[in-house]
Amino acid sequence: MTERKRRPLFAVGCPGIDCEGSMQVAKEAAKNGVVTYMQRMEQKVIQPCLFGKGGTCCRICSFGPCMIIEDVPESIGICGATASTVAARNFCRMIAGGASAHMDHGLETTLGFIAAAKGESDYTIKDEKKLLDMAHIFEIKTDGRAIKDIAIELGEKALAEFGKQEGGLYTVRRAPLKRQEVWKKTGVLPQGMQREVMEIMHRTHMGTDQDYKNLLLQGTRLAIADGWGGSMISTELQDIMFGTPVPIRAIVNLGALDEEKVNIVVHGHEPILSEAMAMVCQEPEMLAAAKEVGAPGINLVGVCCTGNEILMRHSIPVAGSFIQQEIVLATGAVEAMVVDIQCIMQSVAVVAECFHTEIITTSPRAKIPGATHIEFDHHHALETARKIVRRAIERYPRRRGVNIPRHKMDVVAGFSHETINHMLGGTFRASYRPLNDNIINGRIRGVGAVVGCDSAHVLSGHVHTTVAKELIANNVLVLVTGCAATACGREGLLRPEAAELAGPGLREVCETVGMPPVLHMGSCVDNSRILIAAAEIVREGGLGDDIYQIPVAGCAPEWMSEKAISIGHYFVASGVYVVFGRTFPTTGSKVLTDYLFRELEELYGGMWAVEEDPTEMAQMMIRRIEKGREALGIQEKKERVLFDMAMRREM
């Protein structure tokens, strides 16, 4: 775990991935004419547009495109739109894109949930406790009712949330009361989900809302509907159907691919598909079919957030994060890559053509030229999964040489907010009390969330892991999701042994409980788990009565997607200080950027920041955490006492 510097691995342009195995495969593949994002970056002849980068290019009507320079008085749109208006419109449309991705995923999950509840699919209700908890939140009567009936009603009420026009979302009520009051006062309580997207698209239409602050109110309303609505419904219904994650051991990185077995990669975001794949891959009939073509078995692995979902629930390895998706194929060891939605590079179909690999799209929402489309539906999940596995097996005899690097790393994943509750609070007395106490006594200075994508513009992975290491060294407990989690996994930070890298206070807590200092909480929709954890910390007491008061901070060091913008904004609206890495999409307007980076704090207690240097990013978060401690009057670090047996029992 040595510090590695940013090092360009191909001639110019692309810094590559902070993983020797990935770079070795990429280089070898490049020699054989396989083109990945690394070469595409180098070949890119057109320079990025500064107006587009800073958010001040408007192309929403045919008078434009209008490229606007903020400080030049005559540089405004033909309609008179200013830089702040244009940048705010673009920012809000990014939130709309990101939130829609999460909410549409949530909608699909809900439809699958209803099918499961009615007994019409291959899935069942696995977590009855969570079902009852959710029923309570949705004001559904449970006394004396059959589980099936409760589940059907929950599914239907959840479904109605997406199209609701007024009345607000049930799950938003899980936020601390003080927070809900803030949202009410500022007028950003979402009424429904789809309605808020529609309103953004309307307000950002030519000639409608032209006040950046008013535009941002709508952006905030939608972001809240995403985090506390669509994403949360996704996570919770998935947990009820597929089981709430508990800590499990698994492995990540390319070394998870198998030299001899049939390798099937699931890539995308909806566990509805990957769960079915996990269920059928080990069926005797499938294994026998694999034997027939000379393979000793079937190896299922994940990529991106789908990878995180099956890792958290089944210990199924993650072969790679977003940035590694082409490299996984370039090993030549993959028979089929099965994808659903989001973060799938179009190029996977092109890379696959260089090998015997078949790319199979499964969602009617996402097709790729060159891929085979086998549509997946809730009512025939296993049947479709078997069909896919058979196709993969058929490809196996066409496999030629493989190049699988040995690089893989042990991880412990599966830290739902319920797990944290049990782990720190004990099986008999699940509670956030010990965590709050450890924050109050200063062993843990605070909590830092490191989330989001991989970037092609930095030495990918290195930025995530540098931030995480700096945070834990300063006794900040780190929560990770999405591709940031996979990067931390590759670096070994998701093992209990990584406690050695933590500051003395955090190390003591981790060693006592036997947990890693960096906790994998799941995929990106699972950032809602972090919201719930924050709400629980508030509810437990002693650290203020709203999220903005607890010593937490968040970051997305290598963000790239619109989903990351929506996530960042719902954290800000929830009272969290959020730092994004390298670039920010509003920098073309100082007025708007100042609003997001400063003034928002007065409204929500949270605000945005951007920082390229990972160590400084972590330090910014630490300063914020320490400021929070000071405001709570707990800044004095207590005399460190060695743990005696009584204290261990107390933990």
Query: In the complex, which residues of this chain contact ligand SF4 (CB under 6 A)?
Result: 58-61, 63-66, 77-79, 81, 86, 206
Q: CB 210 → ligand SF4: shortest distance, Å?
A: 9
64 binds, among ligand NFS, ligand SF4, none (CB under 5 to 8 A by kind): ligand SF4
Phi, psi of 318 (to 5 degrees): -100, 115
Residue 168 binds which of ligand SF4, ligand NFS, none (CB < 5-8 A, kind-dependent): none
482 binds, among ligand SF4, ligand NFS, none (CB under 5 to 8 A by kind): ligand NFS
For residue 453, the partner it binds in ligand SF4, ligand NFS, none, with Cβ less than 5 to 8 A by kind, is: ligand NFS
| Single-letter residue type at 578 | V
Q: How are beta strands 262-267 and 318-320 bridged, if at all? A: unpaired
343 binds ligand NFS (CB under 6 A): yes
- What's the CA gap between 437 and 266, in Å, rounded? 41
Q: How far is CA 294 from CA 261, 337, 586, in A?
A: 9, 20, 55
CB atoms within 10 A of CB 640: 11
Among 188, 232, 316, 524, interactor with ligand NFS by CB under 6 A? 524
Nearest residue (CB) to ligand NFS, 131 versus 368: 368
| SS3 of residue 250 by DSSP | strand
**Phi, psi angles (nearest 5°) of residue 647:** -70, -35
DSSP code, position 377: -
Nearer to ligand SF4, 77 or 452 (CB): 77
Distance (Å, whole) CA 158 – CA 32: 50
Rounded to whole angstroms, the Cα distance separating 363 from 519 reads 31
CA quadruple 44, 48, 52, 53: dihedral sign = positive
Min. distance of Cβ 466 from ligand NFS in angstroms? Answer: 17
Of these partners, ligand SF4, ligand NFS, none, which one is at the site of residue 426 (CB under 5 to 8 Å by kind)? Answer: none
Please report whether residue 483 would count as binding ligand NFS according to CB under 6 A: yes
In the complex, the smallest distance separating the C-beta of residue 498 from ligand NFS, rounded to whole angstroms, is 21
Q: How far is the CB of 196 from ligand SF4 (least distance, A)?
A: 22
CB-nearer residue toward ligand NFS: 320 or 442: 320
With binding defined as CB under 6 A, does residue 305 bind ligand NFS?
Answer: yes
561 binds ligand NFS (CB under 6 A): yes
Instruction: Kindly write down the DSSP assignment for every residue of 620-645, as one continuous string.
Output: HHHHHHHHHHHHHT--SPPPP----H
Nearer to ligand SF4, 205 or 539 (CB): 205
Largest CA distance in the chain: 74
Residue 81 touches which of ligand NFS, ligand SF4, none (Cβ within 5-8 Å per kind): ligand SF4
Q: In this structure, what are the phi and psi dihedrals at residue 478, rounded to the nearest 5 degrees?
A: -110, 130
Q: How far is the CB of 452 from ligand NFS (least distance, A)?
A: 5
Q: Which two tokens stand for residue 376?
A: 């997946």
d(Cα 142, Cα 158) in Å, to the nearest integer? 16
**Other Cβ atoms within 10 Å of 551 Cβ, number:** 28
Q: Does 295 bind ligand NFS (CB under 6 A)?
A: no
Our finding on whether 521 is near ligand NFS (CB under 6 A) is: no
Which one among 26, 304, 381, 531 touches ligand NFS, defined by CB under 6 A? 304
Which stretch, 218-226, 438-446, 556-564, 575-583, contacts ligand NFS (CB under 6 A)? 556-564
Q: Which is nearer to ligand NFS, 453 or 543 (CB)?
A: 453
Element (DSSP H or E) covering residue 130: helix 128-137
Total residues at the site for ligand NFS (CB under 6 A)? 14
**Choice from 93, 563, 582, 629 touching ligand NFS (CB under 6 A):** 563
Using CA of residue 514, residue 516, residue 517, residue 519, what is the dihedral sign? Answer: negative
Q: Which does 550 bind (CB under 5 to 8 A by kind): ligand SF4, ligand NFS, none?
A: none
Query: Residue 571 belongs to what H/E stretch?
Result: helix 562-573
- Beta carbon nearer to ligand NFS, 461 or 544: 461
Residue from the set 112, 190, 452, 516 that interacts with ligand NFS by CB under 6 A: 452
- Quickly list DSSP for 476-535: EEEEE-HHHHHHHHHTTTTSGGGGGGS-HHHHHHHHHHT--SEEE--SSTTHHHHHHHHH
- The correct pick among 113, 170, 322, 432 for binding ligand NFS (CB under 6 A) is 322
- Nearer residue to ligand SF4 within complex by CB, 78 or 288: 78
Distance CA 480, CA 463 (A): 13
Closer Cβ to ligand SF4, 77 or 554, answer by number = 77
Nearest-approach distance from CB 206 to ligand SF4, in angstroms: 4
**Residue 89 CB, nearest distance to ligand SF4 (Å)?**
8
The Cα–Cα gap between 346 and 315 comes to 28
449 binds ligand NFS (CB under 6 A): no
Q: Which is nearer to ligand SF4, 63 or 128 (CB)?
A: 63
* The one among 107, 182, 301, 453 contacting ligand NFS by CB under 6 A: 453
Query: In the complex, what is the shortest distance from the CB of residue 76 to ligand SF4, in angstroms, rounded to a whole number?
Result: 7
- Per CB under 6 A, the segment of 21-29, 538-546, 558-566, 569-577 that binds ligand NFS is 558-566
Residue closer to ligand NFS (CB basis): 548 or 584: 584
Q: Give per-residue burial for 395-426: e unless 16+ CB within 10 Å, then b.
A: bbeebeeebbbebbbebbbbbbbbbbbbbbbb
Candidates 392, 436, 174; CA nearest to 263 is 392
Footprint of ligand NFS (CB under 6 A): 269, 304-305, 322, 343, 452-453, 482-483, 523-524, 561, 563-564
